[in-house]
Amino acid sequence: MVLGQGGEGDAAAAAGEQEPEVPPGREDGPDAVQPRLCPAPGVEAAGAEERRACGCCSGMSWPFCCEAPGTKKKAKCPGLGLFYTILSAFLFSVASLLLKKIEDVHSVEVSAFRCVFQMAFVLPGLIYYKTGFLGPKGKRIFLFFRGFLGSTAMVLLYYAYQVMPLADATVITFTSPVFTSLLAWIFLKEKYSLWDLLFTLFAVTGVILIARPPFLFGSRVTGIEGSYSDHLKGTIAAIASTLSAASTIVILRKVGKSVHYFLSIWYYAVIGLVGCLIALFVLNEWRLPHCGRDRVFLILIGLLGLGGQIFLTKALQIEKAGPVSIMRTMDVVFAFILQVLFLNHLPTWWTVGGALCVVASSSGTAIRKWRHSVKKAKQRAI
């Protein structure tokens, strides 16, 4: 999730739910740029009738095309999209680890810093693409709720990271695809099969194994970080974050391609920053870290989260959504490794069992959607 953590990945996750086989700049629609014709080798451009379609770039004709006529097209590096996905997962996991290492800084304040980085990154894009800052009139209400829910997901997830084990919070966030399917069935009338119901039950089972409520596991719960009260609060925050992230993906599906994704991220950053500043004023929690190390960590969290989002977006541009969604489960692996190496906290078998249930659920959902998109692509080709 959804940037993959809370608000961190919802835009990219929404792209993953759609069909990403279309290269950037070649979306379907009446305004889509069509490939122009390039002169054939040995034929003069002026007055030439023999031309061939240039498919090596986003529709620019030679000599502005990235390849001259007659040159061989470079083969795409196999596995590059999956490598970008793994790199994105690693950057997100390191950012979460640094969040655990920061002392005496509220999760809302960390989220505010994150929103500032988002705004600094998106603002040049809005100016370059001339999208405006408000968006189409009929879509503004959707953009507002996308920004509100996305930023809420980020704040809640950061709080969960601070009060519960890193691996536990990361695993819970991976229930987002399952809840996205459920919400899409309710609000968008998308198909919801028995397999989807089974994956939802698997995800809920995984969350229960991680939360370990006393009425099921007894009053003496072991292997948690801090008090069980904080563990339960973190679990509730992580679940609420996941539901908020899933809701933003449903909203992005509703909006579709009518709104530029930079504008969507802009709403997320602006509304998130305003909401965080109001919350900090009410809670009286605004303070700069006393330690220089924590200030560096705050900057690194913003940079690593931004880098993770960029690599995830690049992965979705050159690889199919199914493999990317499955490979994103590396977030869980990295979370377990970093928790053991740097936080000296060994996960319990309950956590491992819950992780397996959630990973199986999210992977199954991704595989089903992947197969469905491939089937639809074959039908269109026929």
> What's residue 246's pLDDT?
87
> What's residue 223's pLDDT?
63
Supply φ then ψ for residue 53, to 5 degrees.
-75, 135
> What's residue 87's pLDDT?
92
> What's residue 238's pLDDT?
92
Q: Indicate the SS3 state at residue 53.
A: strand
Supply φ then ψ for residue 70, to 5 degrees.
90, -10
The answer to whether the CB of 187 falls within 8 A of the CB of 142 is: no
Q: Are strands 37-39 and 51-53 parallel, antiparallel or unpaired?
A: antiparallel
Cα separation of the two ends of the chain: 35
Tens-place pLDDT, residues 30-60: 344 444 444 444 444 444 433 444 444 444 4
pTM of the model: 0.72
pLDDT in tens, the chain (382 residues): 444 454 445 444 444 444 433 333 333 333 444 444 444 444 444 444 334 444 444 444 444 444 445 544 444 676 788 888 899 899 999 999 998 888 778 888 888 888 888 888 888 888 888 888 888 888 888 889 988 998 899 899 999 998 888 888 889 988 888 888 888 888 888 888 888 888 889 888 988 888 877 666 666 666 676 677 888 888 999 999 999 988 888 887 787 777 777 888 888 889 999 999 998 888 887 777 766 788 888 889 888 888 888 888 788 777 776 677 778 888 888 999 998 898 888 888 888 888 889 888 888 887 877 787 778 778 888 7
> What's residue 216's pLDDT?
66
